[in-house]
Amino acid sequence: MINSSLKQLGEMLQAKKISSVELTQSFLSRIQQHNPSINAYIALDEAKTLAQAKAADARIASGEASPLTGIPIAQKDIFCAKGWKTTCGSKMLANFVAPYDAHVISEFDKAGAVNLGKTNMDEFAMGSSNETSYFGGVKNPWDFDRVPGGSSGGSAAAVAARLCAAATGTDTGGSIRQPASLCGFTGLKPTYGVVSRYGMIAFASSLDQAGPMAKSAEDCALMMNVMAGFDERDSTSLKREKEDYTRELYNSNPDKPLQGLRIGLPKEFFAEGLDASVGKVIETAIAEYKKLGAEIVDISLPNTGLSIPVYYVLAPAEASSNLSRYDGVRYGHRAESYTDLMDMYCKSRAEGFGAEVKRRILIGTYVLSAGYYDAYYLKAQQIRRLIAQDFVEAFKTCDVIMGPAAPSTAFKAGEKVDDPVAMYLQDIYTISTNLAGLPGMSVPAGFSTGGDGKALPVGLQIIGNYFDEARILNVAHQYQQVTDWHDRMPEELK
């Protein structure tokens, strides 16, 4: 059952072969068993969770169920959920009980899904290993010595260890796709503006986007049907017709389902910096796509290397502004002792924020300060346009872009903690899609055996043109019909 797809679970629930309470309890008991070692969840509330499961069972009995009614979902702790502790992985919000629901949370509630708990994450989503969380690191379910990736590390480990049916994440520079690659499951970052950011704690507002983290592309499509849609309360939410993201999955030619699909391979994604064993897995996956009828096109995204410097100006600049709200006055951490108002601000923020968050606030403050604005912030915005333009050119000759999602498999905990620049390079293949605002996925494509002999997952990245989520979900789904990488889970956790 823990390996069943969302569609299968929905059918079992609606046929009353199992109740939501039973399904939820089976996940809760797996959480009790494995979470003490993995640390994927940082807030659990069995009473609330089971009350939702009971309500879902009543809804199913009344014949008013929708596809995700009764299905237990893990929520990244970046989403405000009324009455739930919502910490964003920070000491600053360690005691913050959200007084309202994020749009994503209320959409899952309306669908009748069950909130299984809040998942661990890098502090304020700033990190690529989950090691900046105030609540401790998260273990990679494939090898407990390694990180799950980040910032959505708790959701990633929960999906990979089957401690939930599916989870939510957010992706500002790769925080859904990189952990999906490192933990071996399917994750989608939608086009910017498709999922409302209302109630999602802000990091870099022009880049932040929520998306599904699940076993398969089909599961992600069902999650998107709930999460996506216009919301008045997010000023950048896009007013579009409601879409069925599963619409392309079931109507393909069975022999050559991807006949005529043009896959662009950017040479910059296969250059220096890519681990050779990861490159090999990606090549094998591309060969599989050829069998499905796809054509390969060589493309170039010449400004890929600049995406990291540009991101580390723009994201900290936006973060320094967004995080100025944490001043110890109305909510969040206030210093225990202080002399005057200025001292209260400075001490509350010094105590409430961790080292990586402080570094990014300082970088952001610096690049926005008088005399440096043009040289850094404006320059970065200009190069951002060049990076977006690269994609516009590339999509003239191809339909989707493929490459690795991360340059290596999961690395060891502690390995990059003291070297922020090495940590930032984890996102070299993912950041440019955030800067351009494009949708991107990571799809399990195989395993690479590390030095100590443990097989670690590798993710294939699929980048689509604006609003092509349904298409890339189908491109991933067809691959998942002929491979079983997405069905694998760590032996020890079965």
Catalytic residue (one of 76, 139, 215, 416): 76
Question: Judged by CB, which is closer to another protein: 65, or 380?
Answer: 380
Least Cβ distance, residue 330 to another protein (angstroms): 6
Q: Are 132 and 123 in contact (CB under 8 A)?
A: yes
362 or 482: CB nearest another protein? 362
Task: Give the active site residue among 106, 129, 151, 442.
Answer: 151
Active-site annotation holds for 76: yes
378 secondary structure, DSSP code:
I
- How far, in Å, CA of 5 to CA of 71, rounded? 11
Residue 385 C-alpha from the chain's centroid: 24
Nearer to another protein, 70 or 364 (CB): 364
Our CB check for another protein shows the closer of 61 and 362 to be 362
Q: Which residue has the tokens 């100006």?
A: 313
Annotated catalytic residue within 152, 175, 348, 442: 175
Q: Closest separation between CB of residue 353 and another protein, Å?
A: 7
Side chain identity at residue 182, one-letter code = L
Q: Own/partner pairs for 370-373, CB < 8 Å, 24+ apart?
A: none
Number of H helices, E strands in the chain: 16, 11
Tell whether omega for the bond before 151 is within 30 degrees of 0, i.e. cis: yes
Q: Which residues of 77-116 are buried (b: 16+ CB within 10 A; e: fewer)?
A: bbbbbeebbbbbbbbbbbebebeebbbbbbbbbebbbbbb
Known catalytic residue at 237: no
Minimum gap (Å) between residue 245 Cβ and another protein: 19
Verify whether residue 151 is a known catalytic residue: yes
Name the minimum Å distance from CB 382 to another protein: 4
CB-nearer residue toward another protein: 328 or 407 = 328
- The residue among 292 and 436 lying less far from another protein, judged by its C-beta, is 436
d(CA 167, CA 148): 14
* Dist CA 100 CA 82 (whole Å): 4
To the nearest whole angstrom, how small is the minimum distance from the Cβ of residue 229 to another protein?
15
Q: How far apart are CA 453 and CA 33, in angstroms?
A: 26
Catalytic residues: 76, 151, 175
